[in-house]
Amino acid sequence: MIKPENQISIPTRQPAGPRLSIPLRFRDRRRVTILMTLIVLAYITLATLPTMIPSHFKLGTALTSFAENIKIMFWQPHLANTTFITLLGALGQSILLAFLTTLIGSVLAFFFALASTRRLAPTYLVLGIQSLMAVIRAIPTVLWVLIYSVVFGLGANAAVVGITFHSVAYLTKVYADSMDELSPGIIETMQAMGLKKSAIIRQAIIPYMMPSYLSWTFIRFEINFADAIAVGAAAGAGGIGYQLFMSSSFYFNFHEVGVMVYMILAFALVLEIISYRLRTATN
């Protein structure tokens, strides 16, 4: 039953002048602000672009040498300074780094999410934990690894702790969001039957959030794999990232870089297939 106030009514505030067409929305200040911001940003970009290009830069030469390097990487991949087995081991190291950080991160994040979902936790915990996590998320993973390398020294330990740290913050947010989506009536029903909190979490919340738990955790695994490569180069954490760094910046051997890029692409393809399977299985 529709109450009169719920019925669709034509806006009473009409644009001035003869009514040619009925507007779909009023001019609102937010849209004007967004438009102005975009115009200003576009102007700044165009104005600073010329100053960024060095004076000795020649577009033609740059493009041809870029094409040359691409050709070396993708059409003539072969190894010089390392063996394929070494690289396979290094790739395995990066994968394990991603796996370990995702595993620890998802377990910790699950408990943080329980403590910061509006369905279970008091407001001060929700706000407190979620803002802390937002701050942690705002700082990029690589930076966290560098920060922890002050404590642990450059290397794998700092990488594990740093990537885990950012994973926890990221996963806490997405897990808590998916718990928030649960209808309050469900939890109330379980409380009305006298269930303990542990039983409510296990019997009501987990069954509902399982599909999104799996898919978000998997997405984070993909992110952590990419981060593990970057961190391998930037923080000497080893793995395929370190090998990439050595070949490209130390030996300048783009043939070798090509091999590694192909290996990483192959693994990314495997991940894509798994995530597709995961999606179709849980839906």
Partner 1 sequence: MLTVKHLAKSYDGEKKSLTDVSFSVQPGEVTVIIGPSGAGKTTILRSINQLIRDDDGEILFDNTDIRQLNRAQLRQARCRIGMIFQNYNLIEPLTAIENVLHGCLGTKSNLAGIFSIYRNREKEEALKLLEKVGLAEFAYQQCRNLSGGQKQRVGIARALMQQPKIILCDEPIASLDPKSTITVMDILRDLATNDGISVLINLHQVDIARSYADHVIGINNGQVVFDDRIQALSDTAIASIYQKDANSEGSVVHEF
- Contact positions toward partner 1, by CB under 8 A? 1, 183, 185-186, 188-196, 198-199, 202-204, 207-208, 210
Nearest-angstrom CA–CA distance, 261 and 255: 10
Closest separation in Å from C-beta 78 to partner 1: 51
Closer of 159 and 187 to partner 1 (Cβ):
187
- For 15, phi then psi, to 5°, come to -65, 150
Question: At its nearest, how many Å lie between partner 1 and the CB of residue 213?
Answer: 12
DSSP string over 246-264: IIIIIS--HHHHHHHHHHH
CA 267, CA 263: separation in Å to the nearest integer?
6
Min dist. Cβ of residue 5 to partner 1 (A)? 11
CB of 4 to partner 1, least distance (A): 12
Tokens of 161: 């702790």
Amino acid 156 reads A
Closest CB to partner 1 among residues 23, 122: 122
* CB of residue 202 to partner 1, shortest distance in Å: 5
Encoded amino acid at 170, one letter? Y
Q: Which is nearer to partner 1, 115 or 226 (CB)?
A: 115
Among candidates 161, 175, 187, which has minimal Cα distance to 129?
Answer: 175
Residue 212, number of CB atoms within 10 A of its CB: 16
Pick between residue 31 and residue 202 the one whose CB is nearest to partner 1: 202
Nearer to partner 1, 86 or 203 (CB): 203
